[in-house]
């Protein structure tokens, strides 16, 4: 696809901690836990903004989460790049997979920093989010209708 070869110019214009919760009664110290990851993209065509919403749920298998965080990063796409993302003869916008992965990596890093700040001075601060394979979270180009 033609727009995969072009550099997309953008800025982060907003970071939002959409949700954060610690549920201590669901936590079992020293017990194995897992992190469930979700990633979603959204768009505001009027303002040429793409958003990436990343959720992480920390939980012990078979139990409700003991920690939950969702962070949203808002990226304003510059005019020329926005035009490059338009799918010809349609109203669709398409993010090339590599660009969507870049936004996902930025959002995961932002979530990691917010998580550190929110858990500072608590026992949950030791539960640092490990590296996340964003290639699995973004399997293809992202298309908005």
- For the chain, the domains span 8-127
Q: Is 87 helix (H, G, I), strand (E, B) or coil?
A: coil
Q: Is 108 helix (H, G, I), strand (E, B) or coil?
A: helix
- Report the half-sphere exposure of 91 (CA within 13 A, side-chain side): 5
More confidently predicted of 1 and 72: 72
pLDDT > 90 in the chain, percent: 83
Rounded distance between C-alpha atoms, residue 73 and residue 107, angstroms: 6
Contact criterion met (CB below 8 Å) for 59 and 26: yes
Res. 1: pLDDT tops 60: no
Tokens of 2: 């033609």
- Report the half-sphere exposure of 67 (CA within 13 A, side-chain side): 20
pLDDT > 70 in the chain, percent: 97
Mean pLDDT of the chain: 93
CATH of 8-127, one of 2.40.290.10, 3.10.420.10, 3.40.50.2300, 1.10.10.10: 3.10.420.10
Rounded distance between C-alpha atoms, residue 48 and residue 94, angstroms: 12
Residues with Cβ < 8 Å from 2, sequence gap 6 or more?
Answer: none
> Which pLDDT band, with edges at 50, 70 and 90, does 5 fall under?
low
Res. 108: pLDDT tops 50: yes
């Amino acid at each position: 696809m033609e727009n995969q070869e072009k550099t997309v110019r953008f800025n982060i214009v907003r970071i939002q901690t959409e949700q954060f919760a610690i549920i201590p009664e669901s936590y079992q110290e020293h017990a194995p836990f897992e992190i469930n990851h979700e990633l979603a993209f959204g768009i505001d065509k009027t303002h040429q903004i793409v958003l990436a919403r990343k959720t992480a749920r920390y939980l012990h298998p078979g139990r409700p989460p003991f920690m939950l965080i969702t962070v949203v990063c808002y990226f304003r796409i510059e005019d020329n790049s926005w035009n490059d993302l338009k799918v010809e003869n349609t109203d669709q916008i398409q993010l090339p997979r590599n660009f969507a992965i870049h936004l996902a990596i930025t959002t995961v890093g932002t979530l990691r920093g917010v998580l550190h700040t929110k858990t500072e001075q608590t026992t949950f601060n030791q539960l640092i989010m490990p590296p996340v394979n964003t290639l699995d979270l973004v399997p293809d180009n992202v298309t908005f209708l």
